[in-house]
Amino acid sequence: MAKRKNQNRDNRDQKFKKFKLSSGIVEPGQYGIYATCTKGREAQCIKELKLAFGEKIEEYYHADLLAMTEGNDNVEEDGNEDVKKELLIEDQIKKELLELKANNDDKKKSNALIKETKLGCECLIFLQCKKPIVPSEFCHRYCQEAFDSKIKTTRYTQRLSPIDSSCSASLEEVIKLSKKILKPHFQAEKDQKPLKFAIQINRRNFSALEKMDIIKAVAGCVGTEHGHSVDLKNYDKLILIECFKTNVGMSVLDDYDRLCKYNLQQIFDKSHELEEGKSEN
Amino acid letter for position 246: T
CA distance linking residue 117 with residue 162, whole number of Å: 14
What is the model's pLDDT at position 196? 96
CA distance linking residue 27 with residue 167, whole number of Å: 8
What is the model's pLDDT at position 16? 47
Where do the DSSP E strands lie in 150-281? Answer: 157-163, 165-168, 196-204, 229-230, 237-244, 247-253
Select from 55, 235, 61 the least CA-distant residue to 149.
55
CA distance linking residue 160 with residue 71, whole number of Å: 32
The CA-based dihedral angle spanning residues 263, 56, 110, 167, taken in that order and rounded to the nearest 10 degrees: -50
Provide φ and ψ at 136, rounded to 5°.
-65, -40
The CATH architecture to which 26-53+117-280 belongs is 2-Layer Sandwich (3.30)
CA distance linking residue 137 with residue 142, whole number of Å: 8
What is the model's pLDDT at position 5? 53
What is the model's pLDDT at position 104? 53
Residues 6+ apart with CB under 8 A from 50: 110, 111, 114, 116, 127
Provide φ and ψ at 159, rounded to 5°.
-100, 140
CA 10 vs. chain centroid, Å, equals 32
What is the model's pLDDT at position 1? 52
Select from 25, 61, 57, 28 the least CA-distant residue to 165.
28
Amino acid letter for position 79: G
What is the model's pLDDT at position 12? 53
What is the pLDDT tens value at each position of the chain, 281 positions in all?
Answer: 555 555 655 555 554 444 444 668 999 999 999 999 999 999 999 999 999 998 898 888 877 767 765 655 544 444 455 545 555 666 777 766 665 655 455 555 556 789 999 999 999 999 999 999 999 999 999 999 999 999 988 999 999 999 999 999 999 999 999 999 999 999 987 889 999 999 999 999 999 999 999 999 999 999 888 999 999 999 999 999 999 999 999 999 999 999 999 999 999 998 878 777 666 65
User: Rg of the Cα trace of the chain?
Assistant: 21
What is the model's pLDDT at position 19? 45
pTM for the model stands at: 0.78
What is the model's pLDDT at position 101? 57
